[in-house]
Amino acid sequence: RASVGPKYLSGLNPEQREAVETLDGPVLVLAGAGTGKTRVLTTRIAHILSQGRARPAEILSVTFTNKAAREMKHRLGQMLGHAVEGMPWLGTFHSIGGRILRVHAELAQLKSNFTVLDVDDQVRLLKQLLQAENIDDKRWPARMLAGLIDGWKNRGLMPSQVPSGEAAVFGNGKGGKLYASYQERLKILNAADFGDLLLENIRIFREHPDILRQYQQRFKYILVDEYQDTNVAQYLWLRLLSQAPSSFASPRLREEVASQSDAGEGDAPSAALVETAPHSDPLPVKDGAREKNHVKNICCVGDDDQSIYGWRGAEVDNILRFDHDFPGAKVIRLERNYRSTGHILAAASHLIAHNEGRLGKTLRTEDQDGEKVTVTGSWDSEEEARGIGEEIEQIQRRGEKLNEIAILVRASYQMREFEDRFVTLGLPYRVIGGPRFYERAEIRDALAYLRVINSPADDLAFERIVNVPKRGLGDATVQMLHDHARKRRIPLFEAARAVVETDELKPKARGSLRDVVAQFDRWRAQREVTAHTDLAQIVLDESGYTEMWQKDRSADAAGRLENLKELVRSMEEFENLQGFLEHISLVMDRDGGAEEDAVSLMTLHSAKGLEFDNVFLPGWEEGLFPSQRTLDEQGRAGLEEERRLGHVGLTRARRRAMIYFATNRRIHGTWSTTIPSRFLDELPAANVEITESKGGSAWGGTGGYGASRFDDLEAFGSSYSTPGWQRAQANRNRGGGRSGSGGHGGFEDEAATFSSSSSAGPDFGS
C-alpha cells in the first residue's frame, strides 16, 4: 500500500506529490498560474487527515475568499470519500481572525457578540469624530481617514505605533489622535472593523503568551493559499501562529527575530515578533516528543506574478523571503500548467515577461496549442457588449455551459452594460463580488434591526433605524440621546430607556421612543423561543418596516419587498441569528444562485484562483486598463501590477481567451476616444489573432475607429494598416483619451483603497 499510495495522490506529478507529502517543516510552493497549487493544498489536508497526523480541528487553512474556502471543503469531502468530521479551520484571514477574537473578546474590551462594521458604518462613525474635533469633513473627508486607518491596520500598527509623520498627514496633525479615539469608540459600541479582526488577534497574542501558546499547540498544520497577496498584519499573524509553542523555541530564534527587527523592516511588526519570542521555562512536553524544529509545519503557496493587491497593502516580499523567514524551508516549484492551452499560456507568459520586478519562471503545458487568443476592436462599449453577447450565444448553441463563461472587467462600472445586454438577451448571469445584496438600503435597515436585537450596544444600527419608519424621532431626539449616552458612557439604546422615564422629551416623542424600547425588549425575549427566521419576519412586520415599503409608491418598492423576503429566506442556512450576522459581516463574495447555469461577471481582482473554459476580457484600453491612475503615477510599480492583473485574467482561461477594446467609451457620462492598451502591444504575434466584432458596424466598417497603435503592435507587425491608423496616431499625439479627467470611480482598487472590507477578496477580501 505504501508504494502505491492512497487514491487521492494518484495523478499528481512528482513535484506536486512532494509538496503534499513533505509534512514536516516549512514548505513553499512557488509556482505559476494553473500549476495545481490550490490542488496541492487541498490534497495536503486530505493527506494529513488520512495519515492521522492531525485532527481536523488542528489544521488551519487560509484561503483568499470565502468562496474558495467553500470550494476547498467540498473537494476535501470528495477526496476523502466521506464528510470530514469536525471541520478544519478553513476560511479567510478575516473569518478565522474573527472567530478567534470572539473567544477572547473581553481582552479587546469587547463582548463576544461584537458587531463587525462595514465601510458605511465606519465612515459614519468617523464623521462623528471629525465633527467632535471640529475638523472640516469637506477638506478632510471621513473616507480618506477610513483609508488611512485601514492602511495602518493592514500594516499591523496600533494607534501608538503609527509613525508620527504619517499620523500628521490628516486633519492638521490630528490623524493619529483620531485613530485612537476611533478605536475607543469602537469598544464603546461593542464593534470591530475588518482590520481589527486580525490586529486585535495580534495584540492579544502579543500580550498573552499563554493564549498564543494555546493556538500554537492547537494548529499542528498551517496552510496558506495566495501567499503573494498577504499584507503585513496577515504575515505577522501567521508568523506568530507558526512558531512552535514558544517553550520549545531555541535561543537562536530569539536572536534571529531580534536581528530582523534591526534590519529596519518597520518597527512595529518586528517588535511584535520580539515580544513573542520565548523567555519562559519549558513547559511539560506533551506526548513526549519535542519538536525538533522551532517553526511549525506551515505550507504556503503562491505566485509572485499574480500579486495584485499591492494597493491594499499586500507585500509581495513576503513570498520572496519565505526561506529567510522560515529557515530550512523546502521550496518546491511546479512548472506544468494543467489549465490552459498552448496559445493562451504563451500569450500570458509573454505579457508578464515585460515586468522587471519578478522572479521569472518556466511554465509549460502538454496541452494542444488550441485556439489563438483573439483581439477584437469595437466602435464603443455598447457594441463591445453586443459583440460579446452574440459570441456567448454562439458558445451556448455549441452546447457549452454558461457556467464555463466569464467576463472579467477592470472597473466595476463596466459591468452595467453587460448586465443590460444580458437582461435584453435573457441570458442568465451572476455578478461575483459585485454590489452585494446586503449592501442595499432595505437590507441594511433590516439588518440594523437584527443587530440591535443581537447587541443592544450597537449604536450605529440603532441610530439607523430608530426613526425608520418615521416615528417622530428626529435629529433633535437622536442628538439628545447621544448627549445622554456620552455623559453616562452607556449605549444609545440604554440612554433611550433612561430618557423615556424622564420628561426631557415631548410626550409624543417620549411615547414613540418608549414603544421602540419595549419592542426591542420583547423581540429579545422572543429570540429565546422563536426560530431566528420567524423572528426576523416578526420584527419586519411589527416594526412597521414592511408596511412602509408596501405603502411606498416608488417604482422599486416591490423589488425591495422581494429583497426583504429573500433576506429572511437566506437566514435559513444559518443555525441562529448570531451565526447569520457574522456571515453577513464577513461575506465578501457573493455567488447568486450557485446552482444555476449562468455567465459569471466580475472584476479581474475577484477572478483570482478561478478558471473557466471561455474568458472574455473587455476594455483593454489605455486609461481603463492600465488604469489612468497607474499611468499618472511615477514609477513602474502600479503599471507592473496592472500587467500582473492582465496575466491573471488571461490565465483564468482554459480553452479560449478573448480580448476586446473599444474606440469610444463613456466614463461618468462623458464620451471620450480611447486607444488600445499597451498590453496589446506586448502580446506575441504567433499566439494572437485579430477578429472582427460580431456586434455590428465597427471594425473596418464605418471608419473613424481610432484603432490605433496597431501599426506598432508587436503582435500584428505590418499586417495591419488602414485609415484608422491616422486617427489613432492623432490620439496618441494628444496623449490618449481622457487625460486629466479627474476621478475614475469604479476601479476596484480605488474604491477599496478606503477599505479592506470591500471586494474579494476579496474576503476582500473578503
Task: State the catalytic residue, choosing from 37, 444, 527, 654.
Answer: 37
CB 673 within 8 A of CB 733: no
CB 308 within 8 A of CB 230: no
- Which helix (H) or strand (E) segment holds residue 430: the answer is strand 429-431
- Spell out the SS3 assignment of 492-530: HHHHHHHHCCCCCCCHHHHHHHHHHHHHHHHHHHHHCCC
Q: How far is the CB of 399 from ligand ATP (least distance, A)?
A: 21
Q: Is 204 left (phi over 0), alpha (psi -120 to 50) or beta?
A: alpha
330 labelled ligand-binding: no
Q: How far is the CB of 261 from Mg ion (least distance, A)?
A: 33
Q: Is 549 left (phi over 0), alpha (psi -120 to 50) or beta?
A: alpha
Is 226 a residue of the active site?
A: yes
- Rounded to an integer, what distance in angstroms lies between the CA atom of residue 415 and that of residue 411? 8
Q: How far is the CB of 181 from Mg ion (least distance, A)?
A: 41
Q: How far is the CB of 90 from ligand ATP (least distance, A)?
A: 16
Closest CA to 658 of 602, 615, 613: 615
State whether residue 690 is helix, strand or coil: strand
Q: How far is the CB of 379 from ligand ATP (least distance, A)?
A: 33
Q: How far is CA 69 from the centre of its chain?
A: 13
443 binds, among Mg ion, ligand ATP, none (CB under 5 to 8 A by kind): none
Is 306 a residue of the active site?
A: yes
CB 74: neighbour CB atoms within 10 A? 11
Question: Would the CA dihedral through 602, 608, 614, 615 be positive or negative?
Answer: positive
Task: State the catalytic residue, choosing from 118, 121, 196, 225.
Answer: 225
- Rounded to an integer, what distance in angstroms lies between the CA atom of residue 581 and that of residue 567? 12
Residue showing the smallest CB distance to ligand ATP in the complex: 36
Is 63 a residue of the active site?
A: no
264 labelled ligand-binding: no
Q: State the residue for C-alpha cell 466521506.
A: 82
38 labelled ligand-binding: yes
CB 540 within 8 A of CB 550: no
11 binds, among ligand ATP, Mg ion, none (CB under 5 to 8 A by kind): ligand ATP
Q: How far is the CB of 760 from ligand ATP (least distance, A)?
A: 13
191 binds, among ligand ATP, Mg ion, none (CB under 5 to 8 A by kind): none
Q: Is 328 left (phi over 0), alpha (psi -120 to 50) or beta?
A: left
Among 19, 20, 28, 38, binds Mg ion (CB under 5 A): 38
Task: State the catalytic residue, choosing from 38, 183, 628, 630.
Answer: 38
Q: How far is the CB of 34 from Mg ion (least distance, A)?
A: 8
Q: Which is nearer to ligand ATP, 13 or 403 (CB)?
A: 13
Q: Which residues pair with residue 222 across a beta bridge?
A: 60, 298
Angle at 520 between CA 516 and CA 523, to 5 degrees: 140
Q: How far is the CB of 75 from ligand ATP (least distance, A)?
A: 9
Closest CA to 389 of 407, 371, 404: 407
CB 482: neighbour CB atoms within 10 A? 15
167 labelled ligand-binding: no
- Rounded to an integer, what distance in angstroms lies between the CA atom of residue 22 and that of residue 97? 27
Q: How far is the CB of 12 from Mg ion (least distance, A)?
A: 15
410 binds, among Mg ion, ligand ATP, none (CB under 5 to 8 A by kind): none
- Rounded to an integer, what distance in angstroms lies between the CA atom of residue 282 and that of residue 265? 30
- Rounded to an integer, what distance in angstroms lies between the CA atom of residue 79 and that of residue 265? 41
Is 225 a residue of the active site?
A: yes
Q: Which is nearer to Mg ion, 38 or 674 (CB)?
A: 38
- Rounded to an integer, what distance in angstroms lies between the CA atom of residue 341 and that of residue 339? 7
Binding window for Mg ion (CB under 5 A); candidates: 36-44, 260-268, 489-497, 711-719: 36-44
Q: Which is nearer to ligand ATP, 442 or 611 (CB)?
A: 611
Is 652 a residue of the active site?
A: yes
39 binds, among ligand ATP, Mg ion, none (CB under 5 to 8 A by kind): ligand ATP
Closest CA to 469 of 545, 541, 549: 545
Q: How far is the CB of 395 from ligand ATP (least distance, A)?
A: 19
Query: Where do contacts with ligand ATP occur on this chain (CB under 6 A)?
Result: 11-13, 16, 33-39, 303, 306, 338-339, 609, 611, 651
647 binds, among ligand ATP, Mg ion, none (CB under 5 to 8 A by kind): none
Binding window for Mg ion (CB under 5 A); candidates: 33-41, 239-247, 347-355, 598-606: 33-41
Closest CA to 498 of 535, 547, 456: 456
**Alpha helices (runs of H) in 609-747, residue ranges in sequence order:** 628-632, 637-650, 678-681, 724-734
Amino acid letter, residue 334: L
Q: How far is CA 513 from the centre of its chain?
A: 39
Angle at 183 between CA 457 and CA 264, to 5 degrees: 155
Is 471 a residue of the active site?
A: no
Task: State the catalytic residue, choosing from 296, 451, 652, 727.
Answer: 652
246 binds, among Mg ion, ligand ATP, none (CB under 5 to 8 A by kind): none
Q: Which is nearer to ligand ATP, 228 or 378 (CB)?
A: 228
Q: What are phi and psi of 672, to 5 degrees?
A: -145, 160
530 binds, among Mg ion, ligand ATP, none (CB under 5 to 8 A by kind): none
CB 572: neighbour CB atoms within 10 A? 10
753 labelled ligand-binding: no
Q: Which is nearer to Mg ion, 609 or 724 (CB)?
A: 609
CB 134 within 8 A of CB 174: no
592 labelled ligand-binding: no
Instruction: Using CB under 5 A, count the residues that bind Mg ion.
Output: 3
Site for Mg ion, residues 508 to 527, rule: CB under 5 A: none
- Rounded to an integer, what distance in angstroms lies between the CA atom of residue 522 and that of residue 545? 17
278 binds, among ligand ATP, Mg ion, none (CB under 5 to 8 A by kind): none
Task: State the catalytic residue, choosing from 65, 216, 234, 306.
Answer: 306
Q: Which is nearer to ligand ATP, 228 or 477 (CB)?
A: 228
153 binds, among Mg ion, ligand ATP, none (CB under 5 to 8 A by kind): none
Among 609, 695, 706, 737, binds Mg ion (CB under 5 A): 609
* Per-residue CA distances from 284 to 216, 245, 247, 288 (Å): 15, 11, 9, 9
Q: Which is nearer to Mg ion, 38 or 92 (CB)?
A: 38
- Rounded to an integer, what distance in angstroms lies between the CA atom of residue 430 and that of residue 594? 9
DSSP 758: S
By CB under 5 A, residue 61 contacts Mg ion: no
Q: Which is nearer to Mg ion, 195 or 609 (CB)?
A: 609
34 binds, among Mg ion, ligand ATP, none (CB under 5 to 8 A by kind): ligand ATP
Task: State the catalytic residue, choosing from 15, 193, 226, 384.
Answer: 226
Q: Which residues pair with residue 407 across a beta bridge?
A: 601, 616
Q: How far is the CB of 35 from ligand ATP (least distance, A)?
A: 4
Q: Which is nearer to ligand ATP, 79 or 167 (CB)?
A: 79
Q: Which is nearer to Mg ion, 278 or 433 (CB)?
A: 433
What DSSP string describes 310-341? GGGTB-THHHHTHHHHSTT-EEE---B-SSS-
Q: Which is nearer to ligand ATP, 303 or 315 (CB)?
A: 303
Radius of gyration of the chain (CA): 27
- Rounded to an integer, what distance in angstroms lies between the CA atom of residue 133 and that of residue 593? 46
Question: Would the CA dihedral through 54, 60, 64, 69 be positive or negative?
Answer: positive
Q: Binding site for ATP: residue ranges?
A: 31-38
Q: Binding site: residue ranges?
A: 31-38
Chain residues binding Mg ion by CB under 5 A are 37-38, 609
User: Mind telling me the catalytic residues?
Assistant: 37-38, 225-226, 306, 652
